[in-house]
Structure 1
């Protein structure tokens, strides 16, 4: 069966406008004016609709009283059964908590409904029309409205993107109808109504509205959906997994942190639909995953349309919640739905985790991806430029105050899976979107989807925002030092080992590690070729050719004489409370004496690379004999850094040196996080649905001072709703321990996730797997 035009069914009272008709002036002179002709046409339309309305009311009243020639035998729908549980299992949506009260479907799959009628259905005499409507102004021409005549048949078939319905069984007063939705229909809440009448009369005399919400989702199980993902393990990971990890730390020590995505929780789907209503995406375009993903990257942040969360990076979260205190998406969405206001606060990993929740809730395969040493190129030059004065201090904003390029210690974005029919063949698959508000894209704070393959090849001309993403993973970092002998006041110093896009990490499919990071997957090779390889340089130059501002910066002058070798020793792992050393190895490889000026500094930084506090600075001038070696070392003690650390306890070390005889300049930098103790979680006793259980959260304070203003946040899908608690102070080098009681709600393997914070030490986190038995 095929979709029929909407004009075949007369309007009912609920479909007509209700405003009072305007008074019409019949003066010919006035009526001949164009504006009044328009008003007259509108008036005529209104009168015709009003007449139809009165006629329908009359016929319906007569039908109910049995005073027409045909109504007494007309079939009327008294009740509609949506088979919510059965359809949910067929559509892989039975994990949604709302599936018990709403029909949750995946587009392209067939579903069943049943009608209870006032008398047995007769296919030779009775007609059933099913209306599916989407958005505030549903129209057949825009694909937001479908009208189906449900006749007898074996199975419904969606052909050419059209809805279809057939009556598969009619027994006494029960009618079973199978409906097929197209695999490209719009995503969101659809409304259903059912009209019945007699075939020979061609007029509906009874309309039954289905009051329940009908959610339509993307379908990665359907090969004709653009988000089709053929591998079961990948679908389980990127669509159905409701607890995962977001990687932070540094490229030398990536640290995965648990996050409860919770896409099946009761508040998530309504919140997601509400956010889409705030976007600028027209309802008729909400079947296109390319545009959906772009809209999601905008509405997660509050920059333009009052979206979900507010970003903040200055370390002051006193009027909200610190980004590192969240354990999952659910408490953020609950607060948003309660208050109707954007929630404070978020940073990139929170934006990314929320994006996973929304995408997976809608059926769009999604993962968090962390790029270590992520460039933020503010002037589309494909380079990150930093300037230093003659003392080795960074000049914020550069010589003219307009250069604000930066390298984030790490940056977390999202990859979503889809075909890209708008790009040449071969550029589908993983696409990068980024909800962290960094740069405007088409007048809004959003980014992507940018094809991962386009980024790898340097194809910066492809939609969307590919040049910005390419810079994040492959920009060149250029250091410039103040130089009075240079014609423009600065000379470029070479950076040896501080490459952008040092490592790109996501969670491994099917792997799960509560106590470590064996579930980490290094996917750098998918985004860029090996650093310094011919393929990597070709991608850079390919991108440079497509970016006007990059031409001059990549046409560097030849290097001067460089016969002194410098090496800043990278710091791999320092535990909180331990001292660390800044070390530079220097070798004079020339046959002459060399005079060297050197500066070593260490600073606490935000993960965005912004300097917060100076920890220590050392400088010196010394002479090196030919073919000699020397080690510069500066030690930083715990008491010199403990009170000056900020989010993530990140420290940047920087070294800069100049050789007097040759004017050789060199600079290098490195950053690393201090390692914090894990939060241990132990669950005691048998865990079964509805039975009381206890979980204990503990860790050892690594500091020689007390921890004050202590709080703990915890949650677990199917175990414990999000909870925030204040706890007692922790003694110097003492043990923290807290026990929570809970009653599991759903069986299976469940995750407990918790974070501890205090004024002196924050972002102590942990997770544990709990196997819940059926009652």
Structure 2
């Protein structure tokens, strides 16, 4: 009788991808499964059928040079801590038997090989080979990344698009971003990131053994997103000169960045800033199966000397000076990943801060975290990792100092501005979720639209060298919008019973979100007289023609400084704000009837709200909707003019997808954006 042999091994990709919720990775040549759950493979035997009485099956699983061997049993009993393989005796086809391989919930993440071996009577051995990629499993209760609710898993693991919040707390900018985790090649790039890491190059065996732990994985990824210590993905650049690469504001998704990095032989992609670093890390973590979300901290402190105090310096004209080594970023973007922390005391599970932007060395390497959000709130500086650094980012005090010729004229302390708003995208909807209370105890509810005011009285803001009796506040009348005047009000109050003569200087400077301001582009000054107990209100506006050519995507630092001409005491109020850009509008023809594999039409429209003609390049993209990007030239458009561009696309997958468009203006340092969530149904 002819002996049996293995003719073919079927990885049953369609079934396994659906069972393991990895259907999005269908373009990968490898089978992609999640740990802590069995997957099925089928054998096609040649010759005689399999005989369980005289034949024996075993499976050898290999990760690099590490391996485990196990017999194939008829017991369906699996263990969350051990590799097992079994055949179901019910309805077993001995000519084409199915084998289930069950992985531990703590198995290492990576690309595995397996050898399926059949031992027949007489000691003859037949073998078949295969591969599979194993990811973390947030659906498995025994997995360290298990997150309890399905809507959380959909948002923080499976969602391939999102919003990044930028600008200022009073005038938020919601920037669309495509995480692209299911785009061809992205999975492989994320796995390459682990292989290229210094940890893997130093000791492949040790790296593979540690890859069971999301704490370890997240630290490796945090370091590898930036290129400071390794062959990481992104090169940071805050100089303003991006001629050797791409301006960070031009990126719209992670796929292009990861693809370029891989195709270049792992040379750093130029360039990234905080939101790009964070968004790419979010992609990598979601690919690896670790729940992840992008978080923005408004007024984020970078405290270089660790004293939880940042100094801001102004001169008597209201110009902000470039003196302090500390820096206050209008916003800073990082990620949070969900995991249990068995390496720490109890109560530290859940969201962990990780920051791939190269600001801080941790263990000698530019990475940050994972820092438990709960530990930051409770000020547990004794725990791992980098909690003092993150704590300062959301809790430092601001000392605002007026100086003249090296002499301190006035000092004001602000304990509220740093970390004034910490937010992420809400689950299932394109809007903001305020998570400030997760990081710090909120003293009192405050509006995100606020003004900076200061008083020369001894008050909760406690002033050094204070002159009594004068209160000044600076308030924007409304959130500024491009093409409209910036209207603001200065209110000055004399709280004493004698007349005061006050010198007033108001100054506006353009600034980048993470730098001190540049030169003054608008200023005004004068003298006001305040009668006893009088309140005077001064209204001012900056015309569009005065700011449009200066700021673009930048922000404005606006400050008012008052000098009591009798006592020569000083008081200051300031505000930093961005100007909302006009939006691109996207409309889908018959949007309730969008189905996969059928051509659809969208219309992108733009109205020029600027005071002069603008034109540029319109780029449209959408993972699962459009392969790559489509570019259109938009001819110069007069002020108030409107243009529409029709786009045809064919959705390739079902689900909710993001169609996004960006218009890069040629004669203004600004990019106009818009997005539309598209529900793609089955045909």
With the length of structure 1 as denominator, give the TM-score of the two structures. 0.79
Deviations 1:386-437 (A, max 9, x none): 233455444423xxxxx42122111111111111111211111111111122
- CA distance in 2 between counterparts of 1:650 and 1:483 reads 25
- CA distance in 2 between counterparts of 1:700 and 1:264 reads 34
Query: How far is the alpha carbon of 1:681 from its aligned partner?
Result: 1.2
**Is contact 1:74-1:197 (8 Å) kept?**
no
**Is contact 1:88-1:103 (8 Å) kept?**
yes
1:763 is aligned to 2:668: no
Work out which of the residue numbers 285, 300, 325 in structure 2 matches 1:359.
285
1:306 is aligned to 2:226: no
1:603 is aligned to 2:509: yes
Alignment of 1:147-186 (within 5 A): 147-150=69-72, 152-159=73-80, 161-169=81-89, 171-186=93-108
Alignment of 1:319-398 (within 5 A): 319-340=244-265, 341-397=267-323
- CA distance in 2 between counterparts of 1:126 and 1:758 reads 71
- CA distance in 2 between counterparts of 1:273 and 1:599 reads 57
Aligned to 2:450: none
Shift in CA distance, 466/571, structure 1 to aligned 2, threshold 3 Å: farther
Deviations 1:440-460 (A, max 9, x none): 222222111111111112222
Instruction: Report the aligned-residue RMSD.
Output: 2.7
Q: Secondary structure at the match of 1:171?
A: coil
Work out which of the residue numbers 132, 135, 141 in structure 2 matches 1:223.
141
Aligned to 2:456: none
Q: Secondary structure at the match of 1:132?
A: strand
- CA distance in 2 between counterparts of 1:567 and 1:182 reads 61
Decide which moves more: 426-435 or 342-351. 342-351
Work out which of the residue numbers 161, 165, 181 in structure 2 matches 1:247.
165
Deviations 1:158-201 (A, max 9, x none): 25x22111232453332321211110111121111123335775
Larger Rg: 1
Q: Secondary structure at the match of 1:601?
A: strand
**Is contact 1:600-1:634 (8 Å) kept?**
no
1:110 is aligned to 2:35: no
**Is contact 2:489-2:538 (8 Å) kept?**
yes
Q: Secondary structure at the match of 1:604?
A: strand
Work out which of the residue numbers 334, 339, 349 in structure 2 matches 1:428.
349
Query: How far is the alpha carbon of 1:661 from its aligned partner?
Result: 5.9
1:469 is aligned to 2:386: no
Shift in CA distance, 690/502, structure 1 to aligned 2, threshold 3 Å: same
Deviations 1:233-272 (A, max 9, x none): 1111111111211112321122322211121222211010
**Is contact 1:493-1:667 (8 Å) kept?**
no
Q: Secondary structure at the match of 1:575?
A: coil
Aligned to 2:535: 629
With the length of structure 2 as denominator, give the TM-score of the two structures. 0.89
- CA distance in 1 between counterparts of 2:534 and 2:594 reads 67
Shift in CA distance, 483/314, structure 1 to aligned 2, threshold 3 Å: closer
Decide which moves more: 327-336 or 105-114. 327-336
Work out which of the residue numbers 575, 580, 586 in structure 2 matches 1:675.
580
Work out which of the residue numbers 478, 481, 488 in structure 2 matches 1:572.
478
Work out which of the residue numbers 231, 241, 265 in structure 2 matches 1:316.
241
Q: Secondary structure at the match of 2:579?
A: strand
**Is contact 1:413-1:435 (8 Å) kept?**
yes
1:123 is aligned to 2:30: no
Alignment of 1:683-702 (within 5 A): 683-684=588-589, 687-702=594-609
Q: Secondary structure at the match of 2:153?
A: helix
**Is contact 2:339-2:351 (8 Å) kept?**
yes
**Is contact 2:396-2:415 (8 Å) kept?**
no
Going by fraction, where is helix more abundant, 1 or 2? 1
Aligned to 2:551: 645
Query: How far is the alpha carbon of 1:635 from its aligned partner?
Result: 3.2
Work out which of the residue numbers 404, 418, 422 in structure 1 matches 2:339.
418
- CA distance in 1 between counterparts of 2:490 and 2:654 reads 56
Deviations 1:297-341 (A, max 9, x none): 121222222222222223333333332222222222222233233
1:740 is aligned to 2:661: no
Aligned to 1:265: 183
